[in-house]
Amino acid sequence: MNSGKLVAVVEDEVAIRDNYLAALKRQGYRVAGYSTRKDALSAFEDHLPDLVIIDINLKDEVEGGFELCRELRAQAPQLPIIFLTARESELDEVSGLRLGADDYLSKRISLEHLLARVTALLRRVDALTSTEKEPRLLNRGLLELDLDRITASWKGSPIPLTLTEFWVVHALAKHPGHVRTREQLMAAANVVLDDGSVTSQIKRIRAKFSAVDKQFSAVDTAYGMGYRWVIEQDPLLG
């Protein structure tokens, strides 16, 4: 399944980069590693990879990863990009996602979970370019989740969720009305987050749905316990 897919890792710490490359290679991916933004851009001029994993701090460029993401997104709007970094502040995460990254992960994530993210993101790209099979859909009231393309829509309008946000929404919507703890949401999304980061994820999810529907209130807070999905009906349908 992974043969032929080229994954590039842009990371200035050699030992860490080699560890990621070895893990990806064991999964059947072709790999390429770069330590600087300029090295990566030079190589990408000849041939773009199928997916890029980027650290933010690159050698002497403290924001080198952000700049690389900006340049790659301008060059290739559909190229899958994952930030994998030790910088875990909400400001950094929001900045990375606004630049167009598909996901933003902490280096505390396990290799197994990282590989699962890479596979899921590449699967989404393949599904988006394929029309051969019927998608697997999860419908909950006004919500529709495409489990192959890893896309979400509300009232028929697309919601631009990251992978983490998508799986958090999926975990909530799969069993409406059931409270999901922060630990359960982290497990569903295959990430390691503190309570504040989970709260931030929920905040961004609500904001993205509210941008489409100002009356959105399907994500309910169960104080002291977690969150649950509440089915909403379209008032136009009675």
**Tens of pLDDT along 23-82?**
999 999 999 999 999 999 999 998 999 999 999 999 889 999 999 999 998 888 778 999
Pairing of strands 226-229, 219-222: antiparallel
Asked if residue 176 has pLDDT above 70, the reply is: yes
In the chain the domains, ranked by start, together with CATH numbers, are: 6-128 (3.40.50.2300), 137-237 (1.10.10.10)
With beta carbons less than 8 A apart as the criterion, state whether 213 and 206 touch: no
Q: Please enumerate, as own/partner, the contacts of 164-167 that have beta carbons within 8 Å and a separation of 24 or more.
A: 164/103, 164/104, 164/105, 164/189, 164/191, 164/201, 165/201, 165/204, 165/205, 165/208
pLDDT at res. 157: 96
pTM value?
Answer: 0.70
Between CA 99 and CA 177 the distance in angstroms is: 34
* Residue predicted with more confidence, 127 or 11: 11
